[in-house]
Structure 1
């Protein structure tokens, strides 16, 4: 098992990064590769999960241990594969997710791409009691969760608006890490900030 990779970040793609380790380029698939933008052409460490099947071997990469741990638990849930797990991780607050599972909050879980009521129930059934052993839940979890739900909605609306303005998925993904910091911002404020960032890039 490859636990992590440490090397020079040479390339950022739409769904992966290339890390050069002593002349060997490792392609690492990530939930949001652009979170590593500030490390381009610099040395970095990415926590990895080595996914092995008869017909393929893939490396999935994460910015911290909690993100990797949640990925390993999500792919153990019936009906969720690596692509589904990455889609969830691309827009999740890990502490809020763990809290939602413990509180059996199906409404929160169905807010993620590809997660319907059946899958949400399966996540709760399979993961309740298993996430909090590794992931701490803040006492302010419920308040954060409400903000997170609003942010997910506002961020999604902002992304759709940016797409309609002609910006590409790649350009939008590059500024998402900054936009997620606007926890209680309205959609129009998120759009204004995004446009400002996009003009700088």
Structure 2
């Protein structure tokens, strides 16, 4: 129903963001809410409307490719919206796709709620169905960004700044963060642990 919503990010929380558009605040669940900056105007959020008997729930993503991957994950038996969101929160879309194409069950089983049976089902249902992703569009590449920083780390830094941490504070924990290979959400959690000490 909705391809995307463009508006002002009014709230950023642990599970969802609120985007205001024309006087309406949309509650949108997203894999990494802290990738969005509170107060950001003209923010485009690619959305998926999940309809069930007792509620209509909006899920949102930074890129169209992440949304498309979410939709594909929903076609796998045993994976619902919450499970698909947890998978996308745990790894870069490119890593997820490569692990499915490479039949890497061990990697897939690292995701919350994904056991051996579901990992096999993901491979069975989705392998070979990512042709539209092969060009590595924006949002799928896991190559290092500027200054050698991975995209996930750059997202985490932006999120920490949005939470009010100074560049000096972030810089103090950055060397330890660079040693890890994590999702943006995991980088944020690790940074908060270090900053709390």
The alignment's TM-score, normalised by the length of structure 2, stands at 0.70
Say if 2:130 is the partner of 1:135: no
SS at match of 1:80: coil
State the 1:28 CA deviation.
Answer: 0.6
| Structure 2 Cα separation of the partners of residues 135 and 197 of structure 1 | 36
| Runs (5+) with no aligned partner, structure 2 | 137-141, 143-159, 166-172
The alpha-carbon distance between structure 1 residues 137 and 99, as it changes in their structure 2 partners (threshold 3 A), is: farther
Residue 36 of structure 2: aligned partner: 36
Does the 8 Å CA contact 1:96/1:137 hold for their aligned counterparts?
Answer: no
| Structure 2 Cα separation of the partners of residues 55 and 195 of structure 1 | 36
| Structure 2 Cα separation of the partners of residues 130 and 137 of structure 1 | 14
The alpha-carbon distance between structure 1 residues 48 and 195, as it changes in their structure 2 partners (threshold 3 A), is: closer
Matches within 5 A, 1:19-168: 19-37=19-37, 39-131=38-130, 133-136=131-134
Say if 2:191 is the partner of 1:194: yes
Instruction: Indicate which of 177, 185, 190 corresponds to 2:180.
Output: 185
Aligned residues: 160
Does the 8 Å CA contact 1:88/1:112 hold for their aligned counterparts?
Answer: yes
The alignment's TM-score, normalised by the length of structure 1, stands at 0.69
| Runs (5+) with no aligned partner, structure 1 | 139-143, 145-170
Does the 8 Å CA contact 1:48/1:62 hold for their aligned counterparts?
Answer: yes
- Moved runs in structure 1, 4+ residues, more than 3 A? 181-187, 195-199
